[in-house]
Amino acid sequence: MNVKLRHKVTGLAIFSALLPVIILVYFLYWREEQLSDDLERVIDMMLGRQMRQIVMDISALVDTDSHFVHARLDEGMHVVAKMYGIMGPMHASSQSMKWRMDELVVNLPDLVFDKKDMYDGGGIDEWVEEVAEWTQSDVFFYQRDIQNGNFYGVASNVDTISKNGRIFDVISESLPSGLENELGQALTQGESRQSSIRIAGSTYLGGFVPLVDKQGHVVAAVFVGLNEEWMDAVRMAIARIEVGAKGFAWLIYGEDGQRSILNMHNKGDERKVKDVQNQDQRRIFEKIDLQADSLDAGEIGEWSGVWRDPSDGQMRKRVLFYTRFPNWNWVIGVTGFYEDYNRPYERIEHVFRGLLEDIAGSGLVVLLLIGIVAFYFGGKITRPITQLTRIARKVADGDLRAASDMIEADASPYFKGLS
């Protein structure tokens, strides 16, 4: 291809002018990619560190409440043992009473204190009320059937518990499955133990104190505890914690098989863990609840993925950090959204893109100006060389007349005197 000399000169000038721009654009693009990767790693690390710290802080708060509660329960159990030591022991009288629970009918002897004269009331119901007043707790009295070893709940200060000869709870030495019931075994052996019980639809956290007669046989047990409703304030305090602009804290709690999750995100709700699914019908929180069982004390688990936000239907990348609080069988967790922490990244990316666009735009303007200038001056510079080349070709061909005419016709000062 025969390219004119002026075009070659123009192209060389344009390339020489744009080469620094091209190098600069490439360098900025490469640095923008590298900086974006570094910044994304820093954001991930910052997000993870902050959310882990939030989980640890919440867990520490709950642990403080737990220590306070268990100290109060220990004190309540100590009061029961002290009061029984003053008035007891108890023994079975000659009178008995039939107790009913659904179709179950149990004949239990009346229990009386040996030191009845030290107590104005003398009856179990009155003693339970006094224990409740001294301990500021809910109290449940369980009488043991010596024949089968079962403990039957027969007295309480709780208003919702029937006191008309109804049994409200049964603790056996063995479970319906045939396995040993650790609580029943411990009470039979006269061991005090903190535990939780569920009665009349409510869960109580407390401790059992076995009561023995003169022969050392366990004849009853007293449970002093607190209704789990008092934990609602703690649970709601956790559920109201915000993480970033849209992140939130959440809590999984409840009995096995009936676990619930509570959070205040999008006006808040409380649902069964098994009913919470993502857009792929995966039960993420049920899986997290199971995985939390394998966490060591203070260990924090992590899950990340994309989840459709029910508030606006948008797919958002989120990360979850969680830990188990074994004392109350809770799983405490927080959820954070990457977009809340991507704003610095987006700003820097915007600056780099704007800079690249400005450089590219400036390069186009420079290209146009250089092209015009190079084309104009390139023609001026290369015209004598081009004309001289043409004349030389005529001379080489032996056409001196044509060469002389070309010299005379050219007004350029470079050829004066050649003719």
Please determine, for residue 318, whether its predicted confidence score (pLDDT) is greater than 60.
yes
Please determine, for residue 241, whether its predicted confidence score (pLDDT) is greater than 50.
yes
Residue 153 bridge partners (DSSP): 142, 169
Which region among 37-46, 79-88, 197-206, 283-292 has the lowest average model confidence (pLDDT)? Answer: 37-46
Predicted pLDDT at 410? 59
Please determine, for residue 130, whether its predicted confidence score (pLDDT) is greater than 80.
yes
Please determine, for residue 388, whether its predicted confidence score (pLDDT) is greater than 80.
no
Taking residues 2-14, report their average pLDDT: 59
pTM greater than 0.95: no
- pLDDT band of residue 281 (cuts 50, 70, 90) is low
Q: Which two tokens stand for residue 98?
A: 């039939």
- pLDDT band of residue 409 (cuts 50, 70, 90) is low
Please determine, for residue 187, whether its predicted confidence score (pLDDT) is greater than 80.
yes
State the maximum Cα–Cα separation within the chain, in Å, rounded to a whole number: 155
Please determine, for residue 178, whether its predicted confidence score (pLDDT) is greater than 80.
no
User: Which stretch of DSSP H or E encloses residue 52?
Assistant: helix 5-87
Handedness of CA 272, 274, 278, 284 (dihedral sign): positive
More confident residue, 31 or 131: 131
More confident residue, 89 or 114: 89
Please determine, for residue 333, whether its predicted confidence score (pLDDT) is greater than 90.
yes
Share of the chain above pLDDT 90, in %: 19
Domains assigned to the chain = 88-230 (3.30.450.40), 238-338 (3.30.450.20)
Please determine, for residue 304, whether its predicted confidence score (pLDDT) is greater than 80.
yes
Which region among 92-101, 161-170, 395-404 has the lowest average model confidence (pLDDT)? Answer: 395-404
> How far apart (Å, rounded) are the C-alpha atoms in residues 325 and 332?
7
Please determine, for residue 412, whether its predicted confidence score (pLDDT) is greater than 90.
no
Predicted pLDDT at 218? 93
Predicted pLDDT at 298? 84
Going by C-alpha positions, the residue among 169, 175, 344, 335 that lies closest to residue 251 is 335
Predicted pLDDT at 230? 80
Please, are residues 300 and 48 in contact by the beta-carbon 8 Å criterion?
Answer: no
Predicted pLDDT at 346? 65
List pLDDT tens digits, range 116-126.
654 455 578 88
How many CB atoms are closer than 10 A to CB 41? 10
Decide: helix, strand or coil at residue 188. Answer: helix
Highest mean pLDDT among 53-67, 101-115, 396-410: 53-67
Predicted pLDDT at 119? 47
Predicted pLDDT at 76? 93
Predicted pLDDT at 389? 66
List pLDDT tens digits, range 29-82.
666 666 666 667 777 777 778 888 999 999 998 888 888 888 889 999 999 999
More confident residue, 315 or 185: 185
Chain-centroid distance of CA 307 in Å reads 13
Which region among 52-56, 173-177, 192-196, 399-403 has the lowest average model confidence (pLDDT)? Answer: 399-403
Tokens 């967790």, residue located:
333
More confident residue, 25 or 368: 368
Please determine, for residue 237, whether its predicted confidence score (pLDDT) is greater than 90.
no
Chain-centroid distance of CA 345 in Å reads 23
Please, are residues 194 and 127 in contact by the beta-carbon 8 Å criterion?
Answer: no
Taking residues 323-327, report their average pLDDT: 88
Average pLDDT, the chain: 78
Decide: helix, strand or coil at residue 120. Answer: coil
Taking residues 195-201, report their average pLDDT: 84
Q: Is 296 exposed, middle or buried (0-12, 13-18, 19+ CB in 10 A)?
A: exposed
